[in-house]
């Protein structure tokens, strides 16, 4: 009997510690990254839906967060072609460095939290951000919301879902991005970046709804 109880306890522990991988890929391109530049005399907002990645964690017992995302900077869109050219070509050198990356694999400090269905969980973690082939470790504020599969969640994707939201402030000069003096009043030296993505632990098996990665131009 003691052996059975021990085995059941071990099984329960393994289930709690089992990490699920949530693939954040969406054929509908509903995931997004927003870049806000509030300069001296002008604010610019650039948006891209060409962001993809994954997060791995145990919803029952979050000990460590691991994840990786890629953004195709060639797809950042401001609504103005001249501004697009300034940001994509002149500042980000997008033809040479088309992809920005962020990754993290960090323990959760304090008690090991459990993600409750439909309830936000907030934390601040360190992540490695790569822009123009320069990588820096920066703090980011994140929010996770876990959804067990139900009729409402299937309106977005099949499987259990994880919504990932993040906010970070980026000093452009730390990545070798220098604002020319002629743009100093219209492009900020520090920008605020936010992201909002939803991933699933079970990708659709229907070929018509399969997610796809970043489209290359």
The tokens of 28 are what?
């509908």
Q: State pLDDT tens for residues 139-196.
A: 999 999 999 999 999 889 899 999 999 999 999 999 999 999 999 999 999 999 999 9
Type and span of the H or E element at 23: strand 20-24
- R_g over Cα of the chain: 20
Strand partners, 129: 102, 136
Query: Tens digits of per-residue pLDDT, 98-137?
Result: 999 999 998 876 667 889 999 999 999 999 999 999 999 9
Residues in contact with 160: Cβ distance below 8 Å, sequence separation at least 6, in sequence order? 20, 22, 59, 146, 147, 148, 149, 153, 200, 201, 202
Cα separation, 74 vs 89, in Å, equals 8
Please, what are the domains in the chain? 19-200 (2.40.128.110)
Per-residue pLDDT of 49-91, as tens digits, reads: 999 999 999 998 888 899 999 999 999 999 999 999 999 999 9
Q: Residue 42 in 3-state DSSP? A: coil
* CA distance from start to end of the chain: 63
* Predicted structure pTM score: 0.84
């Amino acid at each position: 009997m003691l052996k059975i109880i021990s085995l059941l306890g071990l099984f329960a522990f393994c289930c709690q510690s089992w990490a699920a991988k949530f693939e954040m890929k969406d054929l509908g391109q509903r995931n997004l990254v927003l870049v806000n530049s509030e300069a001296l005399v002008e604010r610019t907002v650039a948006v891209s839906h060409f962001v993809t990645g994954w997060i791995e964690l145990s919803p029952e017992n979050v000990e460590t967060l691991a994840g990786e995302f890629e953004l195709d900077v060639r797809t950042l869109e401001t609504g103005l072609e001249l501004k697009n050219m300034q940001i994509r070509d002149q500042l980000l050198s997008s033809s040479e460095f088309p992809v920005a990356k962020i990754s993290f694999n960090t323990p959760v400090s304090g008690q090991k939290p459990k993600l409750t269905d439909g309830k936000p969980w907030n934390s601040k973690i360190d992540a490695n951000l790569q822009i123009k082939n320069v990588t820096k470790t920066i703090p980011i504020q994140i929010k996770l919301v876990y959804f067990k599969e139900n009729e409402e969640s299937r309106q977005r994707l099949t499987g259990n879902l994880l919504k990932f939201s993040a906010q970070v402030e980026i000093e452009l000069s730390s990545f070798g991005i220098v604002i020319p003096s002629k743009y100093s009043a219209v492009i900020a030296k520090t920008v605020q970046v936010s992201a909002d993505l939803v991933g699933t632990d079970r990708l659709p098996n229907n070929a018509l709804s399969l997610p796809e990665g970043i489209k290359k131009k």
